[in-house]
Amino acid sequence: MKVGLLYSRIRRDEKLLLAELRDRDHEVEKVDVRKTTFGVGAAADEAAVDVGAAADVDGTSEGDVADESAGDDTDTDGDTDTGGDTDTARTATEAAEVLRDCDVVLDRCLATSRSLYSTRFAEAYDVPVVNSPETARLCADKVETSLTLAAAGIPTPETTVAFDTDTALEAVESFGYPCVVKPVIGSWGRLMAKLEGRAAAEAVLEHKATLGHYEHKVFYIQQFVDKPGRDVRVVTLDGEPVAAMTRSGDHWLTNASRGAETNAFELDDRAEELARAAADAVGGGLLGVDLMETGDDYTVHEVNHTVEFKALNDAVETDVPAAVVDWLESQAAETETEADTETEADTETETNTETETDDGDSDEEVTPVA
CATH number at residue 194: 3.30.1490.20
Claim to verify: residue 186 and residue 298 sit in the same structural domain = no
The answer to whether position 87 is within a domain reads yes
pLDDT at 186: 78
Q: Which of 81-95, 109-123, 150-164 has the lowest mean pLDDT?
A: 81-95
| Lowest mean pLDDT, pick from 198-207, 240-249, 351-360 | 351-360
Confidence of residue 52 (pLDDT cuts 50, 70, 90): very low
Residues 235 and 182 in one domain: no
Query: How many structural domains compose the chain?
Result: 3
Whichever domain contains 241, its CATH number is: 3.30.470.20
Q: Pick from 131, 149, 166: which residue ends a domain?
A: 131
Measure the CA–CA gap between 1 and 204, rounded to whole angstroms: 50
Q: Which of 299, 317, 335 is the last residue of a domain?
A: 317
pLDDT at 276: 98
Q: Given a cut of 50, is residue 101 above it in pLDDT?
A: yes
What pTM was computed for the model?
A: 0.80
Q: What is the mean pLDDT of residues 343-362?
A: 54
pLDDT of 97 over the 60 cut: yes
Residue 108 has pLDDT above 50, yes or no: yes
User: Is residue 144 packed enough to be buried (19+ CB in 10 Å), middle (13-18) or exposed (0-12)?
Assistant: middle
Residue numbers of the domain that contains 167: 158-223
pLDDT at residue 167, as a whole number: 97
Cα-based distances in Å from 1 to 7, 23, 25, 32, 325: 19, 12, 8, 20, 11
219 and 235 assigned to the same domain: no
| Percent of the chain clearing pLDDT 70 (strictly above) | 74
Q: 129 pLDDT exceeds 50?
A: yes
Three-class SS of residue 57? coil
Residue 126: give its domain's CATH number: 3.40.50.20
**Domain annotation covers residue 262:** yes
Would you say residue 240 lies in a domain? Answer: yes
In a domain, 145, yes or no: no
pLDDT at 215: 86
Tell me, yes or no, whether 40 lies in a domain.
yes
Cβ neighbors of 310 (< 8 A, separation 6 or more) are 11, 12, 13, 16, 73
Claim to verify: residue 23 and residue 82 sit in the same structural domain = yes
Statement: residue 361 has pLDDT above 60: no
Residue 318 has pLDDT above 70, yes or no: yes
The secondary element (H helix, E strand) that includes residue 87 is: none
Average pLDDT over residues 109-136: 95
Q: Are 182 and 298 contained in the same domain?
A: no
3-state SS assignment for residue 176: coil
Give the tens place of pLDDT for each residue, 74-95.
333 334 444 444 445 677 667 7
Is residue 218 included in any domain, yes or no? yes
When pLDDT is averaged across residues 126-140 and rounded to a whole number, the result is 96
Residue 78 lies in a domain: yes
pLDDT tens-digit profile of 228-273?
999 999 999 999 999 999 999 877 676 766 667 999 999 999 999 9
Q: Give yes or no: residues 7 and 126 share one domain.
A: yes
Same domain, 258 and 181: no
- Cα–Cα distance, 235 to 30 (Å, whole number): 23
Which span out of 213-227, 252-266, 308-322, 351-365 was modeled with the highest average pLDDT? 308-322
Write down the pLDDT at residue 42: 67
Q: List the one residue out of 38, 41, 57, 58 whose CA is nearest residue 49.
A: 38
* DSSP H helices in the chain: 12-23, 43-46, 64-67, 92-100, 112-124, 133-140, 142-151, 165-175, 198-209, 269-281, 310-315, 320-361
- Considering the domain architecture, whether residues 237 and 280 belong to the same structural domain is answered as yes
pLDDT for 182 equals 94
Whether residue 351 is contained in a domain is answered as no
Residues 167 and 124 in one domain: no
Q: Could you tell me whether strands 104-108 and 2-7 are parallel, antiparallel, or unpaired per DSSP bridges?
A: parallel
Q: How far apart are CA 206 and CA 204, in angstroms?
A: 5
Let me know whether 90 and 168 are in one domain: no
Q: Pick the more confident residue, 89 or 116.
A: 116
Determine the Cα–Cα distance for residues 117 and 123; give it in Å rounded to an integer.
Answer: 10
State the helix-helix crossing angle for 112-124 and 133-140, rounded to 10 degrees.
Answer: 160
Residues 312, 201 share a domain: no
Residue at which a domain ends, from 178, 206, 223: 223
Are residues 172 and 69 part of one domain? Answer: no
